[in-house]
């Protein structure tokens, strides 16, 4: 155990000597105090001596590591399950999940005595609530296997990471029992005040109604409001410490929120919607196989055989966009020629049809998607079709746009650069040899780019422009700027 002391050698000796002869426990920090970063300070010679040196580190980072230390540290999960995992049989997860602190001890820190006392997450393991307010040194020892050799995390994390977690557990846990009822509802808290907290800290990324990102990768949908309602303890933990590997998401502990204010934020978050049919429909139109996570299609779509110009097979033959186009014009638009040509009609003229008519079309004989998509999903597609835009006012035939590049640059920098990079090259949608970046895609196919910016990316927590409150013109501005980014 090393401590970062900025003291003279003499003082060091003195502190060490005092520590050696006085094994008293350190005064317990208040359980709910929020020491954002425990600064490495010198121990004044006059302060009461402690058994072990006071640990220094970052309790906020500790909270993030408690959530998912592998994601946060950017490391792969160990090959085997955590050693203690085999001592239980009720939780069927495996691999990385078996190594997450939260999986065994809970988002409410109560283990078997809390929300994970039943259901698929049940392990029967103890909570960690009881260590709040105790000496961080003894928590650190438990993380190194002092109480149980199978609970030794020093083999997978360095000392500083473990110290940060120990500081979180001893000094920065929040007991939410007072404001989260047994029915998961915020039992106290002022939603109006919570809205102000949301608008000051969360709205820029999560959008006016918390619908900008759909976190689900298996159909979902799962939005900001969904997590607040379904798992308020997870919500509060992430609000306090941030999201692993998402550096820009703030920690409200860092911001300095009081305990009562978490009740306010939760009360507000639970009023937010948990579905967004139009963007869900947009994801399905783009690629419903990816959006829902269903198995690959082995047969071609039945109507596929009625054309011969487009020689793709399998999943592609089932994508709405493949037959009806990114510009929604089918054979009358971009897919009227080239390798994507099928000769099938567009949908823009269907936008005015009633829900009943559109649902009937989606359940038609050779055009029946009801075997793979449920009622809410079909309704999402209907909602999407009914608000389809003619893209001609925004994108010209020569692929230039009517967007304002300068405005688009500002919006891109604020909303896209964190994931895609300032130059749009952080994420490569193509291959190493044939890279495809935002710049490449929007230059080649601005209609596809428009759809991605407006509705997001199926199966990825990418923001959907229309749920950020952006107009079609705002979306076109970003598209215009994206076209100026490097293509390789």
Could you tell me the smallest distance in angstroms from the CB atom of residue 14 to ligand HEC?
A: 31
Helix/strand number for the chain, H first, E second: 20, 0
Of positions 125, 241, 447, 455, contacts ligand HEC by CB under 6 A: 125
- 50/476 with CB nearer ligand HEC: 476
| Burial state string for 378-401 with b = 16 or more CB within 10 A and e = fewer than 16 | bbbbbbbbbebeebeebbeeeeeb
Give me the torsion for CA of 83, 87, 91, 97, rounded to 10°.
-10
d(CA 390, CA 50): 72
Position 289 contacts ligand HEC (CB under 6 A): no
- Only one of the segments 17-25, 35-43, 175-183, 413-421 lies at the binding site for ligand HEC (rule: CB under 6 A); that segment is 413-421
Position 107 contacts ligand HEC (CB under 6 A): no
Reduced to 3 states (helix: H, G, I; strand: E, B; else coil), residue 180 is: strand
Position 101 contacts ligand HEC (CB under 6 A): yes
d(CA 362, CA 360): 5
- Only one of the segments 1-9, 37-45, 183-191, 449-457 lies at the binding site for ligand HEC (rule: CB under 6 A); that segment is 449-457
d(CA 286, CA 313): 16
Which positions from 38 through 77 interact with ligand HEC, judged by CB under 6 A?
66, 69
Query: Smallest Cα–Cα separation from 464: which of 321, 243, 327, 275?
Result: 275
Whether 135 and 118 have beta carbons less than 8 Å apart is answered as no
Could you tell me the smallest distance in angstroms from the CB atom of residue 441 to ligand HEC?
A: 5
Structure tokens at 227: 């997590």
Of positions 19, 84, 96, 297, contacts ligand HEC by CB under 6 A: 84
Of positions 369, 394, 447, 450, contacts ligand HEC by CB under 6 A: 369
Of positions 70, 72, 267, 416, contacts ligand HEC by CB under 6 A: 416
Q: x/- site string to ligand HEC, residues 307 to 346, per CB under 6 A?
A: ----------xxxx-xxx-------------------xx-
d(CA 317, CA 311): 9
Query: Smallest Cα–Cα separation from 208: which of 474, 466, 486, 412?
Result: 466
Could you tell me the smallest distance in angstroms from the CB atom of residue 334 to ligand HEC?
A: 16
d(CA 342, CA 338): 9
Of positions 453, 454, 464, 485, contacts ligand HEC by CB under 6 A: 453
Whether 6 and 42 have beta carbons less than 8 Å apart is answered as yes
Position 250 contacts ligand HEC (CB under 6 A): yes
Cis peptide before 221 (omega within 30 of 0): yes
C-alpha distance from residue 251 to each of 37, 132, 266, 283 (Å): 12, 20, 15, 30
Whether 443 and 414 have beta carbons less than 8 Å apart is answered as no
Could you tell me the smallest distance in angstroms from the CB atom of residue 20 to ligand HEC?
A: 25
Cis peptide before 98 (omega within 30 of 0): no
- Only one of the segments 53-61, 114-122, 243-251, 398-406 lies at the binding site for ligand HEC (rule: CB under 6 A); that segment is 243-251
Which positions from 187 through 226 interact with ligand HEC, judged by CB under 6 A?
201-202, 204-206, 213, 215
Of positions 34, 55, 77, 105, contacts ligand HEC by CB under 6 A: 105
Position 438 contacts ligand HEC (CB under 6 A): yes
Of positions 15, 34, 60, 104, contacts ligand HEC by CB under 6 A: 104
d(CA 353, CA 349): 8
Could you tell me the smallest distance in angstroms from the CB atom of residue 152 to ligand HEC?
A: 10
- Only one of the segments 45-53, 114-122, 393-401, 452-460 lies at the binding site for ligand HEC (rule: CB under 6 A); that segment is 452-460
Of positions 148, 308, 370, 396, contacts ligand HEC by CB under 6 A: 148
Could you tell me the smallest distance in angstroms from the CB atom of residue 34 to ligand HEC?
A: 14
């Amino acid at each position: 155990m090393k401590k970062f002391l900025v003291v003279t050698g003499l003082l060091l000796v003195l502190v060490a000597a005092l520590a050696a002869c006085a094994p008293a426990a350190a005064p317990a920090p208040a359980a709910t105090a929020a020491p954002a970063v425990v600064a490495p300070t010198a121990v004044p010679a006059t302060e009461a001596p402690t058994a072990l040196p006071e640990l220094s580190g970052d309790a906020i980072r500790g909270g993030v590591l408690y959530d998912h230390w592998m994601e946060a540290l950017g490391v792969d999960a160990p090959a085997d399950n955590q050693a203690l995992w085999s001592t239980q049989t009720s939780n069927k997860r495996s691999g990385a999940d078996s190594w997450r602190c939260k999986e065994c001890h809970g988002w409410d820190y109560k283990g078997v005595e809390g929300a994970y006392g039943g259901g698929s997450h049940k392990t029967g393991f103890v909570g960690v609530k009881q260590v709040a307010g105790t000496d961080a040194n003894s928590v650190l020892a438990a993380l190194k296997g002092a109480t149980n050799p199978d609970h030794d995390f020093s083999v997978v994390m360095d000392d500083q990471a473990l110290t940060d977690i120990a500081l979180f557990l001893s000094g920065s846990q929040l007991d939410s029992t007072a404001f989260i009822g047994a029915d998961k509802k915020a039992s106290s808290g002022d939603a109006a005040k919570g809205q102000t907290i949301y608008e000051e800290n969360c709205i820029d990324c999560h959008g006016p109604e918390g619908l900008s990102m759909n976190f689900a990768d298996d159909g979902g949908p799962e939005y900001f409001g969904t997590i607040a309602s379904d798992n308020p303890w997870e919500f509060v933990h992430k609000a306090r410490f941030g999201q692993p590997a998402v550096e820009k998401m703030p920690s409200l502990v860092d911001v300095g929120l009081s305990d009562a204010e978490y009740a306010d934020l939760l009360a507000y978050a639970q009023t937010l919607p948990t579905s967004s049919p139009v963007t869900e429909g947009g994801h399905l139109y783009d690629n419903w196989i990816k959006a829902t996570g269903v198995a690959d299609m082995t047969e071609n779509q039945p109507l596929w055989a009625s054309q011969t110009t487009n020689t793709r097979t399998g999943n592609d033959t089932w994508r709405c966009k493949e037959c009806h186009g990114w510009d929604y014009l089918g054979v009358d638009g971009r897919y009227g020629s080239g390798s994507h040509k099928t000769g099938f009609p567009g949908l823009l003229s269907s936008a005015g049809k009633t829900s009943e008519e559109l649902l009937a079309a989606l359940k038609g004989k050779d055009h029946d998607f009801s075997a793979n998509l449920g009622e809410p999903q079909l309704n999402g597609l209907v909602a999407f079709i009914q608000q389809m835009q003619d893209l001609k006012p925004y994108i010209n035939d020569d692929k230039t746009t009517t967007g304002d590049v300068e405005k688009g640059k500002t919006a891109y920098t604020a909303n896209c650069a964190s994931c895609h990079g300032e130059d749009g090259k952080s994420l490569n949608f193509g291959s190493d040899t044939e890279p495809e970046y935002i710049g490449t895609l929007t230059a080649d196919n601005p209609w596809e780019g428009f759809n991605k910016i407006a509705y997001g990316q199926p199966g990825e927590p990418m923001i959907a422009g229309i749920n950020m409150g952006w107009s079609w013109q705002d979306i076109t501005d970003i598209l215009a700027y994206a076209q100026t980014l490097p293509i390789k």
